[in-house]
A and B are shown apart, each in its own frame.
Chain A
Amino acid sequence: MTPMPVMEGLLLAAALFVLGLLGVLVRRNILFMLMSLEIMLNAAGLAFVVAGARWGAPDGQAMFLIILAVAAAEVAVGLALALQLFRRTGTVDADAVAGLKG
């Protein structure tokens, strides 16, 4: 196999993670925040895979599978919460629900 470009891979993972984080912080729409969270999760997974390839261990791939499962569960719960949010307030603006303020 061609040598895995570890540095570039990790950089890509980091960039994806930061992009995802920015997305979570900047976007007000719950759905887009969830999507950004997905990107963050995938970035973490990418980092694991790259590391696994660097060390030649299968644990990286195993972690990625776990991350996929976790992401799925999280998306399910998150979408349910988003639905509840929409039903109760009629909007998907995350800033609209600041009831725990103070």
Chain B
Amino acid sequence: MRELLWLVPALPLTGFLALAAGAGRLPRPAVGVVGVGSVGLSLLTALAIAADFAGPAAEGAVFRQPLWQWLAVGDVAVRFGLALDALSLTMILVVTGVGFLVHLYSLGFLAGQEGLNRFFAYMNLFVAAMLILVLADGLLLLYVGWEGVGLCSFLLIGFRYRDPATVRAARKAFVVTRVGDAGLVIGLILLVVSLGTLDIAALTEAAGTRWAAGDALPVAAAALLLAGAVGKSAQLPLQVWLPDAMAGPTPVSALIHAATMVTAGVYLIARMHGLFALAPPVQTAVAVIGAVTLLLAATGALAQTDIKRILAYSTISQIGYMVMALGVGAYGAAIFHLTTHAWFKALLFLAAGVVIRRLGDEHDVRGMGGLYRHLPGAFVAFLVGAASLAALPLITAGGWSKELILTQVWAAGGGGPFLWLAGTLGAFLTALYIFRAVFLVFFGPERTVPGGATPATMLAPLAVLAVLAVVGGAFPVPAFLAGSLPVPATGRAAGWLFGAIAFGLPLLGIYVAYEIYLRRRTAAAGRREAPVPARLFGLWQRGWGFDALYTAVAVRPVGWFVRVNRGDAADALATGATAAGTAGHRWLSRTQTGRLRWYAGALAGGTALVLAVAVLA
């Protein structure tokens, strides 16, 4: 079965080609069948391969399927090929699984809207690119997938291209991630110039033999790869594109900006763990970036009023957890959290999508309230997702994965406890902001009454994801991943206090949210909503001012330069020459007065001059 590996990305790619070629000619049902079916078939293939290969993968086996040699210059050759191990098997199951559910959901979400063909074409291309990314056995093929998902993200954010704000958001996403990608490309080239290969396995081995931990080259290369990861995964300082990316349709936000594309950076660092192990300063940076991002984004989520933006900031924050885990070497925990996050975040987005649709495209939580009666399905789904996000222990998958991260972060050497503190504070804030959303949207006084009904194609994926978000913690994912990722050394032990904190914090967060957003809100309508000073709240809402910073530092100068130099200063060479010629003409014309006496005088003067020169010189 494992020989069918190439089918996994090829099926959605074929779907894309079919939809692109048949644009406008296929009837609507056929579009749905092709769009959803290709990903569904890919999922089945992936499951079949998993059934075949899961055992060997857990013991560290790698199945390689070379494709073709891309180019060879001089003595270096770059080849395209696929590699399957525990890590990539996990990833393709997540991508095809969540992808299929979101595709199915989209059928209902986009019912009655135009552009279905375009939507599924882009979504299929995205799934194909993401699968290529995680299956690539060489960094260059990975980069092909990397840019491919970036392109699809741009196309899908800008799906409703008539809205100028959407167009701007799409451009912002592409440009910001491209800044990271530029660093990634230089890192790639640095690696191939130094080690002579881009094949990940060969590269890691060569790096291990040729470089010692802390050498300048691995540090530089790892830092550049980190730049790419930071851009794609919306971590500090390139996180500003993700909240605006919510301008895309909700299924897009669920699939691309929660479950899969934004986790590509996490995957990259996990895959290149061998290189990162040789660059301790970069690893520290990774951990710190993760910790700071998770706190920053959690405060941001607390202050948003658009339900999708709350979830967007939440995504940034949760990826911060994964990145922090990567920084301390807890690779298995990070990927485990990646999978549980894919389930519960997609669940949250899809449930929010139901709410948005039924309320006639209302995004603002201040326009919602008391919806648990009218939208029971969405309510349960959202509640389950919120519980998993808040990491309620034992009963949710998110609880298991976050607890694993926090335990291993605490156990890490160096500043482990500080990171743990950040993570714990973040956990409290997480419970607080997500249950703020729950209470504001589903409880309290009703403001807008939903209309219509939710189709089964939208409810079924919610059900599946809800189940996964609860029981998914039982999957032995970290143990499975030990087949391809290193397990961190055991360090500090975590005592009974840990269990207590893990148990109590989410509940405390829920209680505080209940207090502020339900009890006091219903009781005193005029009370200030924010539990903190208004200026701080405003700063959180604006994402700590990063947007303003980048606008001032990058956008405005470029805009100024563009305005000032539209006529192209270099043209001065040509216009200057023309101006000089014309001026010279005008000046010399003055000697042609047309007057006889003037010419006579000039003759006389010239003669005198020549004579003087001849006689004196």
Contact residues of A with B, CB < 8 Å?
Answer: 21, 24-26, 28, 33, 94-95, 97-102
Contact digits for B197-219, partner A, Cβ 8 Å, 1 yes 0 no: 00000000000000000000000
Cβ-defined partner of A100 (8 Å) among B592, B597, B601: B592
For the complex of A and B, 3 pairs with smallest distance between CB atoms:
A101-B594, A98-B594, A94-B596
Return chain A residues, CB-CB under 8 Å to B597.
24-26, 28, 33, 94-95
Q: Known contacts A25-B600, A102-B589; can you find 12 more A-B pairs with CB under 8 A?
A: A24-B597, A25-B601, A28-B597, A33-B597, A94-B595, A95-B596, A97-B594, A98-B593, A98-B594, A100-B592, A101-B592, A102-B592
Which chain B residue lies CB-closest to A24? Answer: B600
Residue contact B593 to A101, C-beta cutoff 8 Å: yes
Return chain B residues, CB-CB under 8 Å to A26.
597
User: What is the bound-complex CA distance between A28 and B597, given in angstroms?
Assistant: 8
Measured CB to CB, the closest approach of chain B to A85, in angstroms, equals 10
**What are 6 A-B contacts with C-beta separation under 8 Å?**
A25-B601, A33-B596, A94-B596, A100-B592, A101-B592, A101-B593
B contact residues, total (Cβ < 8 Å):
10
User: What is the bound-complex CA distance between A27 and B445, given in angstroms?
Assistant: 108
Return chain B residues, CB-CB under 8 Å to A97.
594, 596
- B500 interface residue per 8 A CB criterion: no
- B604 interface residue per 8 A CB criterion: yes
User: What is the bound-complex CA distance between A98 and B593, given in angstroms?
Assistant: 7
Measured CB to CB, the closest approach of chain A to B36, in angstroms, equals 81
Contact digits for B587-617, partner A, Cβ 8 Å, 1 yes 0 no: 0010011111100110010000000000000
User: What is the bound-complex CA distance between A97 and B600, given in angstroms?
Assistant: 14
Measured CB to CB, the closest approach of chain B to A97, in angstroms, equals 7
Which chain A residue lies CB-closest to B593? Answer: A101
User: What is the bound-complex CA distance between A28 and B592, given in angstroms?
Assistant: 18
Contact digits for B118-154, partner A, Cβ 8 Å, 1 yes 0 no: 0000000000000000000000000000000000000
Residue contact A102 to B594, C-beta cutoff 8 Å: yes
Which chain B residue lies CB-closest to A21? Answer: B604
Return chain B residues, CB-CB under 8 Å to A33.
596-597
Measured CB to CB, the closest approach of chain B to A39, in angstroms, equals 14
Residue contact B595 to A25, C-beta cutoff 8 Å: no
Contact digits for B568-593, partner A, Cβ 8 Å, 1 yes 0 no: 00000000000000000000010011
Residue contact A95 to B604, C-beta cutoff 8 Å: no
User: What is the bound-complex CA distance between A21 and B601, given in angstroms?
Assistant: 8
Return chain A residues, CB-CB under 8 Å to B595.
94-95, 98, 101
